[in-house]
Structure 1
Amino acid sequence: MTSHLPPPPTDQYVHLPEARLVTTRALLTARENIADTIEARAMMCVHGGAGFGKTVAVTSCLRELEPEEDIRRITFHARPTTRAVRHELFTALELPGQPPRYTGEFDNLLKIALATRPLTIVFDEAQWLSSDQLEYIRYLWDDPRTQLAVIFVGGEGCHATLRKEPMLSSRIFIWQHFTHLTPAEVLDVIPLYHPIWTNADPDTIAYADQHAAHGNFRNWARLTKHTHRALTRTGRPRADQEVLRWAFSRLG
């Protein structure tokens, strides 16, 4: 699937009115790393477990750092062929006409298009890429005419996948590993994430993290949605352990 960056309201895992993007150490580091990668027209890899905020961090940072027209994002949901990657790039670059039938012609067309101006391309869910596709991306980036900054974003398997390709991994300018929030970070950022946590007792937030969220932003989004619903239905002014236990029951 190809696109420009999605609109900000889609950043949240679930529809959660009043949820805010919070500035974590990982997000601040990502902003600096992405800025340096773009300035160098280099490649970087952002990897880590599911729900740790990798894609949201990259997307929000790019909105600040680059004009929308200079960014392309390609997301993989299954293992593609190299031909499929060519077609995804053709669509992402909004090239006119029909894709060329022959490989050499197709590659030349893409390299010419990528040389017209500096572009930043995000390959999301990059752990789905195999050796041939990674080598193809490196081939395009290596061409002296192209002006590419490339950001690979992927799950825990992404780091190992890219490391298996010596010619590619030796060209990765920056590696950034996203991990879960520490308990101290949870107490710092979750009160800023949504109003229902603003006045919550720190012990309640710590209880929620220990028993359900585990420093994972996607877990926090689901938990916040259920907790917000419980507060609305019961009329209680703020979350407590009884409300949280009801929310936990919905999370399995």
Structure 2
Amino acid sequence: MSVSADDLLPCDRADHFLNLPDAQVVATKALLMTRDNLREVIEAKAMMCVYGDAGLGKTFAVNASLRDLAPGQFHRIQFRERPTPRYIRHKLFETLKIGGRMPSRPAEFDKLLRNVLAEEFRILVCDEAQWLSTECFEYWRHLWDDQETDLAVVFVGGDKCYEALDSQPMLASRIYVWQEYQQLTKKQVHEVIPAFHPIWAAADPADIDFVYRHAARGNFRIWAKITHQLLRLLAQLGQECVDRVAIRRVFARLGHLT
């Protein structure tokens, strides 16, 4: 995955699930709200939490918005299961490109990070924040609370992220904006999906409704996965347009259909 030297995020094409060819950024209500919220959070140098179920476009919206609002000022750290403060220190050291040897003692490491984060304003995006422990949340709070550091923090998380943050009253009280992502409604799907990819722009609305009801609902990631498989199938068949036969063939490879 390529990384931009300017903003340290994946290139915009990599934002789309499976690097879906010809996928378009669609200005959904949620994305526009994210952009407005981030603008306020950046101006206030505050903290924000974007949360909701997997596959709804949270990370995509944050990445796309920050590329427009604050190019070169933001850094993204994606967390894995149960990170530790030590892991956060090391990831910040790498992400901020501090250079030299990492300090061996936590106190020295923290002093170095605070000094670097005081040099210029930065936006730190903490993805998969639901994995953070109480100790990790406290670490982020201390970094942000420090009078010398100059930063905004954006927590992005899936299932249980809200509960994880809300259970930390010292941190939760400092969250400037909470934004929940929800699935697209059926009406929104018919408005958004044809703009999302050309194969749906030419599709029968009844076929879009069929995919909505039996597989994708209002989940962007599932729509991207189905679209990716349909593109490959249509290429194999030498066919340009989506039809119910092709959709059913893709469905045969997917689980958990209604």
Quote the residue 2:150 is aligned against: 147
From 20, 45, 70, the counterpart of 1:16: 20
In 1, Cα distance between the equivalents of 2:240 and 2:83?
Answer: 50
Cα 1:135/1:243, change in 2 over 3 Å: same
Are residues 1:31 and 2:28 paired?
Answer: no
Aligned residues with identical type, % of pairs: 48
Using structure 2 for the length normalisation, give the TM-score: 0.93
Shift of 1:236: 3.7
Aligned to 1:73, the other structure's residue is in SS state strand
In 1, Cα distance between the equivalents of 2:22 and 2:143?
Answer: 42
1:2-51 CA distances to partner (integer Å, 9 max, x unpaired)? 98111011111113221111111110000001111111000000011111
Are residues 1:121 and 2:157 paired?
Answer: no
In 2, Cα distance between the equivalents of 1:85 and 1:48?
Answer: 23
Using structure 1 for the length normalisation, give the TM-score: 0.95
Aligned to 1:146, the other structure's residue is in SS state coil
Amino acid at match of 1:56: F
Amino acid at match of 1:207: F
1:114-169 CA distances to partner (integer Å, 9 max, x unpaired)? 11111000000011110001001000100111111000001121111001100000
From 60, 79, 92, the counterpart of 2:64: 60
Are residues 1:156 and 2:179 paired?
Answer: no
From 176, 180, 184, the counterpart of 1:181: 184
Shift of 1:72: 1.0
Are residues 1:108 and 2:111 paired?
Answer: yes
Quote the residue 1:85 is aligned against: 88
Amino acid at match of 1:91: E
Aligned to 1:72, the other structure's residue is in SS state strand
Amino acid at match of 2:30: A
Are residues 1:215 and 2:218 paired?
Answer: yes
In 2, Cα distance between the equivalents of 1:54 and 1:162?
Answer: 16
Unaligned runs of 5+ in 1: none
Quote the residue 2:201 is aligned against: 198
Unaligned runs of 5+ in 2: none
Q: Which moved more, 1:157-166 or 1:239-248?
A: 239-248
